Structure 1
Amino acid sequence: MITIDAMMVCLDLSDIDEKLVAFSRSICERLEVRKVYFVHNIKLYELADDFREMIGDLDLGKEVEGNIADIVAEQFGNITDHEILVSEEPNTEVILADIVKRYGIKLTLLGKKMGDKSTGALGTKLLRILPCSVLVFPETASFNIRKVLVPIDFSDTSLHAVRLSKELSDQLGLELEIMHVYRLPTQFFPLISEEEAVRKAVEVVKRKFADLQKRHREMADIPYTLVRAANRSIAERIALHLEKGHHDLLVLGLKGNNPLPSLSLGSVPTEVYNSDIDVPLWLVYSEEAIRK
């Protein structure tokens, strides 16, 4: 059974907050979550001087906490133990990473605005710096999750994502699919035909899947799909397969244990995050991958 000792929900006082808090309730209704922290950081230095003058001696932190408390009361209720944390620090990423370590956060819930409404810069920074798994909830996503897609590259990282997804699917009765995107070694064209190259590539990948299923019997009954990248990126192929298969959740493994946090996220998760997919994206670290 998947148990989350502590979950952090990052709020930004925008319209997406209500959806994010409601989605956190949906998670708590389906999984065992022992405590939820609703957090917001006020960047006082970003406030205009005229606004500072207007609020005067008003305790902005108290006001923000009260606003969040109203949303939590309406959208979350008392389904599980929870706490509201409001800080006033210059660097949001640093204070959130500190909260993760201080309270033993295992999962962070992060909202994502679509299209031109957000650059996604803060979200990308958080994905790189937070020492925990992150569940990204787009503003257009649905709470109703029935089908899960897990792209793999046969690394330990992606296998951890499969194991978590399998456990999640068994626990909640979800439909699970594995996919692998492969590329052809085009440097050998025209020495061999494209048709022959495709046949060879599929043979190799199928052998990898057969070996994987032998070593991990729990994965033997999970259906898998092979997709050729062709003229698109791996992230683009993942997004197209998500839409085609009507999946409701995408799970990707993240690499960890890297002294340079900016190198730990990986190009595919970064591109997927920055695309306009409209399903929740669960980016998972294994416990062993996270530096303590």
Structure 2
Amino acid sequence: MIIIDAMMVCLDLSDIDEKLVAFTRSICQRLPVKKVYFVHNIKTSELSEDFRETFGDIDLSKEVEANISDIVAEHFAGGCDHEVLVSEEPNTEVMMADLVKRYDVKLTLLGKRMSNKSTGSLGTKLLRILPCSILVFPETASFNIERVLTPIDFSDASVHALRLSKSLADELRLSLEIMHVYKLPTQYFPLISEEKAIKKAEEVVNGKFKELQKRHTEVAGVPYTLVRAAGKSTAERISLQLRKGKHDLLVLGLKGNNPIPSLSLGSVPTKIYNMDIDTPLWLVYSEEVIK
């Protein structure tokens, strides 16, 4: 069973906040979440002089907290135990990372607007620095989740994501599909037959799937799809498979084994995050990686 002791929801006072709060309620109604923290940071250094002259010594934190509380009261009815946290720190991502550690947050919900509305720079920073799993909710995404896609590369991180996806699918009665993107050494064509290369590559991958099913019998019955990269990146193929299969949730495992934080996220999750997709993206760290 998936149990979320503490969940953090990052709000930015934009029109996506209401959707995030409502989606959080949907999560709490379907999964055991013990407590939710609705969080916003006021970067006072970015307030203009005009603002200061107009509003003077107004207690901005109190006003923001009241605004968020109103949204929560309207869209979180029937949710779980929760708290609104508003701070005034110069660095938002560091502040939120501290909250994750302080409250032992297991999952952070992060909204994402389309690229023509936002650069997504803060979101990218949060993905790289927060020591917990992250659920990215695009502004165009649906609350209704029935079909889950989990790409794997047979690493420990992707297997962890797969096992979590299977638990989620069993608990919520969702449809789960596994996919693997493989590439061929095209520099050897036409020295070897492309048809034979494809056949051999798929034989190797099918062998890996059989070994995986032996080690983790709970995923033995989950259907999987082999997709050839064929000139496209892994992220592009995953995006195409999302649309083709009409999936409602994408789950990716994060390795996090690089000591340099800016390099630990991985190229595939970074590229997918930067795409304009309509599907919620669950980026999963294992407890071992977080420790």
In 2, the alpha carbon distance for the partners of 1:219 and 1:78 equals 34
Structure 1 partner of 2:280:
280
Question: Displacement of 1:257 after TM fit?
Answer: 4.0
The unaligned stretches of length 5 or more in structure 2 are none
Structure 2 partner of 1:196:
196
Question: Displacement of 1:216 after TM fit?
Answer: 1.0
Q: How does 1:56-71 map to 2 (within 5 A)?
A: 56-71=56-71
Structure 2 partner of 1:222:
222
Question: Displacement of 1:115 after TM fit?
Answer: 2.6
Are the aligned partners of 2:25 and 2:78 in contact in 1 as well (CA < 8 Å)?
no
Q: Secondary structure at the match of 1:5?
A: strand
Structure 2 partner of 1:88:
88
The unaligned stretches of length 5 or more in structure 1 are none
Matched, 1:2 2:2: yes
Structure 1 partner of 2:113:
113
Are the aligned partners of 1:61 and 1:86 in contact in 2 as well (CA < 8 Å)?
yes
In 1, the alpha carbon distance for the partners of 2:257 and 2:98 equals 18
Are the aligned partners of 2:2 and 2:168 in contact in 1 as well (CA < 8 Å)?
yes
Question: Displacement of 1:55 after TM fit?
Answer: 1.2
Are the aligned partners of 1:257 and 1:290 in contact in 2 as well (CA < 8 Å)?
no
Which amino acid counterpart does residue 169 of structure 1 have in structure 2? Answer: A
Structure 2 partner of 1:264:
264
Q: Are the structure 2 counterparts of residues 234 and 257 from structure 1 closer, same or farther at C-alpha, using a change threshold of 3 Å?
A: closer
Structure 1 residues 238-278: Cα deviation after superposition (integer angstroms, max 9, x where no partner)? 00000000000000000124321112100000000000110
Which amino acid counterpart does residue 205 of structure 1 have in structure 2? Answer: V
Structure 2 partner of 1:161:
161
Structure 1 partner of 2:185:
185
Question: Displacement of 1:79 after TM fit?
Answer: 2.0
Q: Secondary structure at the match of 2:116?
A: helix
Question: Displacement of 1:78 after TM fit?
Answer: 4.8
Output the TM-score relative to the length of structure 1: 0.98
Which amino acid counterpart does residue 270 of structure 1 have in structure 2? Answer: T
Which amino acid counterpart does residue 259 of structure 1 have in structure 2? Answer: P
Aligned pairs, number: 291
Question: Displacement of 1:47 after TM fit?
Answer: 1.0
Q: Which stretches of structure 1, 4 residues or more, deviate above 6 A after TM superposition?
A: none
RMSD: 0.8
Structure 1 residues 44-79: Cα deviation after superposition (integer angstroms, max 9, x where no partner)? 111110011111111000000000000000000252
The percent identity for this pair of structures is: 76
In 2, the alpha carbon distance for the partners of 1:121 and 1:226 equals 33
